[in-house]
Amino acid sequence: MKQSTRRSELPDSGHPKPTVRQRTREDRRVERTRRTLHSALIALLHERSWDEVSVQDICERADVGRSTFYTHFTDREELLLIGFDNMRKQLHAHIAQQTSSARRPLQFMEGLIVHAHANQRLFRALVGKRGGQAVLQRFRQLLVELVREDLATFCPPGPEQDVAVRFVAGGLLELLSWSVEARRAPPPDQIERHLLTMAEAAIRPLAG
């Protein structure tokens, strides 16, 4: 007589499931490796332009193998996005600390412009003359998303908002690119004030 085997009685893969502590340890190891690779990229961007940095350069600076790099990232751009994501979180955290009465349009620009001014060599490698087109496009998209998120609080969605978003994001990108390259660029507060003055002309009609 043929015996049936219940699903619950079938043998497992033979590998014990990881414990919570083991998963936590693994998560920390992965995060530490990703941070090490990103730190290596930032250090290299302080020394050379984006197009002069290769995956091999990053691996050598981080002291990891190429296989480790590609386990975590598909290319340099994906690695760079970690920094952009962290920047976005920091800007949002700065805005969240402000009281509702102190909220105003494009408030994130203050933190971004100050950050760019304090890290001119890095921003010069990213959005200055030494920056690559792929990086510039990524950064432009970040600015568009930040401006769109901000204006959603003050302006209704629609074609007019799209125009205003592109106008403000484009002006901000151009000013940042110029300010990190210019020898006598205005201080961050003046750059912010000038840009806000021009941006208000595009935003005011939408705010109704």
Structure confidence by residue, pLDDT tens digits, 150-164:
888 777 788 888 888
Mean pLDDT (whole number) for 26-36: 88
Distance CA 16, CA 18 (A): 6
Closest residue by Cα to residue 151 from 160, 81, 193: 160
In tens, the pLDDT along 104-132 reads: 778 888 889 888 888 888 888 888 776 67
- Does 14 score more than 60 pLDDT? no
Q: What torsion do the CA atoms of 76, 81, 82, 85 make, to the nearest 10 degrees? A: 180
- Does 13 score more than 80 pLDDT? no
How many other β-carbons are positioned within 10 Å of the β-carbon of residue 15?
A: 6
Mean pLDDT (whole number) for 121-145: 83
Mean pLDDT (whole number) for 181-193: 86
Nearest 5°: CA angle at 131, between 125 and 132?
Answer: 140
Q: How many contiguous H segments (helices) and E segments (strands) does the chain have?
A: 9, 0
In tens, the pLDDT along 50-100 reads: 889 999 999 999 999 999 999 999 999 899 888 888 888 888 887 777 666
Q: What torsion do the CA atoms of 144, 148, 150, 153 make, to the nearest 10 degrees? A: 180
Question: Could you tell me how many residues make up the chain?
Answer: 208
Domain 19-72, CATH number (from 1.20.58, 3.40.50, 1.10.10, 1.10.12):
1.10.10
